[in-house]
């Protein structure tokens, strides 16, 4: 019986890699342009880290984490998200001592036992950023701006930026009492999850995806109406700065975070091309998380992007032409070793080059070059090896040119990189 991949975990195949390379390269480039440093965190951590950071009453911790016992009995969990591990590393390695404000980013696989669907898998990949050490609303805008530019640079279609403010913990306590008073008379009409959340995490009632629950909270009081003057001023600064940068946004009153360490700005970006599950990036302030994990009070903000969903949206127009490949066709007692030596010289010169060592005739080499989509085939038979020349064959135009073997790297680089015609 064949061993197949695990449900919800997909191979990324060679023909899919061009988009992945573009998406990941854009993330690295843009994060560095914004002054972020890359960090690589472990794939698994102590389970307690995620229980304390994500929240024990969340669906992620209750239902979706891959948790297992280590040999010494320690409970370990494959990381379901990146923020907790970054905060743990930030504290463990005293990353605040070098800079009072620290800007970090990561790219890598995450794991959740979710129902697989378009763009959502049990092993998935995220690009995320985290900033520690400032509560200035300008930093909120910088993080949102990075996310917006990332998606627009990739030409993702029909984007909408939603923002909201959840204020301070004190603001939320006042609001939660109003929300519970509103929902209690009709609590039996909510879904089972919302009936449970009413007691454990009331704010999550607002972002329930069940249409019935959405309808029941349509007239619920709005969190913005309970914000303190300081929180309202913070949110106003965010809105004004987004307008200054001509980044369009919509205030979304249901955009909440249910745990106490979240504060102030929350945001997400959606694309209507993805159907119901249309969020491709989301984030917000979590000024209480560093303290919650044993550190000093530290303001922080970040976002995470699901790269599988981004890949679904990247238009083919973004894909650049593949870098041209050259094939060396070495055959014969003298041509094969001369071809092998030339392969090494071309690779040292930075030229993408391959050879089919199974081919024993020129016809077989040319057939293999066609299958690979090669730009050119460098023909080295015994006669060419004796004369210390090669024949460069243009695989598209079918014309060819004899070139001294010593000049091949120079000629190919001129042809490929400067679009000059050597034929």
22 and 154 co-located in one domain? yes
Residue-level pLDDT at 411: 87
Q: Is 53 a member of any domain?
A: yes
306 and 331 co-located in one domain? no
Which residue positions in the chain have pLDDT lower than 50?
A: none
CB 355 within 8 A of CB 362: no
235 and 158 co-located in one domain? yes
58 and 143 co-located in one domain? yes
The DSSP H or E segment spanning 271 is strand 263-271
Q: Is 291 a member of any domain?
A: yes
Residue-level pLDDT at 415: 77
Burial 91-108 (b: 16+ CB within 10 A, else e): beeebbeeeeebbbbbbb
35 and 143 co-located in one domain? yes
250 and 385 co-located in one domain? no
Domain housing 364: 326-414
CB 61 within 8 A of CB 51: yes
The CATH number assigned to the domain holding 74 equals 3.30.930.10
Q: Pick from 318, 336, 358: which residue ends a domain? A: 318
Residue-level pLDDT at 321: 62
pLDDT of 125-140, one tens digit each? 999 999 999 999 999 9
The DSSP H or E segment spanning 45 is strand 44-46
Considering its fold, how many domains does the chain have in total?
2
256 and 357 co-located in one domain? no
Q: Pick from 264, 288, 318: which residue ends a domain? A: 318
310: burial class by Cβ within 10 Å (0-12, 13-18, 19+)?
A: buried
Residue-level pLDDT at 417: 67
pLDDT of 206-257, one tens digit each? 888 888 988 888 888 899 999 999 999 999 999 999 999 999 999 999 998 8
Distance of alpha carbon 304 from alpha carbon 294, whole angstroms: 23
Distance of alpha carbon 304 from alpha carbon 130, whole angstroms: 9
Q: Is 64 a member of any domain?
A: yes
Residue-level pLDDT at 159: 96
259 and 139 co-located in one domain? yes
Q: Pick from 318, 335, 361: which residue ends a domain? A: 318
94 and 139 co-located in one domain? yes
Q: Is 240 a member of any domain?
A: yes
370 and 400 co-located in one domain? yes
Q: Is 217 a member of any domain?
A: no
The CATH number assigned to the domain holding 369 equals 3.40.50.800
Q: Is 125 a member of any domain?
A: yes
């Amino acid at each position: 019986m064949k061993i197949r991949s695990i449900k919800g975990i997909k191979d990324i195949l060679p023909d899919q890699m061009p988009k992945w390379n573009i998406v990941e390269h854009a993330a690295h480039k843009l994060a560095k342009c914004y002054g972020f440093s890359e960090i690589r965190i472990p794939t698994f951590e102590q389970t307690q880290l995620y229980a304390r950071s994500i929240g024990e009453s969340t669906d992620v911790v209750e239902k979706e984490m891959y948790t297992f016992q280590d040999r010494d009995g320690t409970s370990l969990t494959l990381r379901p998200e990146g923020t907790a591990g970054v905060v743990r590393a930030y504290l463990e390695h005293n990353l605040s001592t070098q800079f009072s404000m620290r800007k970090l980013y990561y790219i890598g696989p995450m794991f959740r036992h979710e129902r697989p669907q378009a763009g959502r898998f049990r092993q998935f990949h995220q690009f995320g950023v985290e900033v520690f050490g400032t509560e200035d609303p300008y930093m909120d805008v910088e993080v949102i701006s990075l996310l917006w530019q990332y998606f627009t640079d990739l030409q993702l279609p029909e984007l909408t930026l939603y923002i909201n403010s959840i204020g301070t913990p004190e603001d939320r306590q006042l609001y939660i009492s109003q929300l519970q008073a509103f929902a209690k008379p009709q609590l039996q009409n909510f879904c089972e999850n919302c009936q449970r959340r009413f007691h454990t995490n009331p704010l999550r009632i607002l972002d329930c995806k069940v249409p019935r629950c959405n309808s029941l909270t349509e007239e619920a009081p709005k969190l913005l109406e309970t914000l303190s003057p300081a929180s309202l001023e913070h949110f106003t600064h965010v809105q004004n700065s987004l307008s200054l940068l001509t980044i369009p946004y919509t205030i979304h009153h249901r955009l909440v975070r249910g745990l106490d360490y979240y504060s102030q700005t929350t945001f997400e970006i959606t694309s209507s091309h993805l159907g119901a599950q249309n969020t491709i990036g989301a984030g917000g302030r979590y000024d209480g998380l560093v303290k919650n994990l044993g550190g000093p009070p530290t303001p922080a903000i970040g976002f995470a992007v699901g790269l599988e969903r981004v890949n679904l949206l990247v238009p083919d127009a973004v894909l650049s032409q593949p870098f041209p490949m050259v094939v060396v066709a070495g055959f014969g007692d003298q041509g094969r070793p001369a071809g092998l030596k030339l392969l090494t010289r071309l690779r040292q010169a930075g030229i993408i080059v391959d050879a089919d060592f199974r081919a024993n005739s020129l016809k077989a080499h040319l057939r293999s070059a066609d299958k690979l989509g090669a730009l050119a085939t460098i023909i080295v038979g015994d006669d060419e090896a004796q004369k210390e020349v090669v024949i460069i064959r243009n695989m598209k135009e079918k014309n060819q040119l004899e070139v001294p073997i010593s000049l091949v790297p120079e000629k190919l680089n001129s042809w490929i990189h400067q679009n000059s015609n050597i034929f």
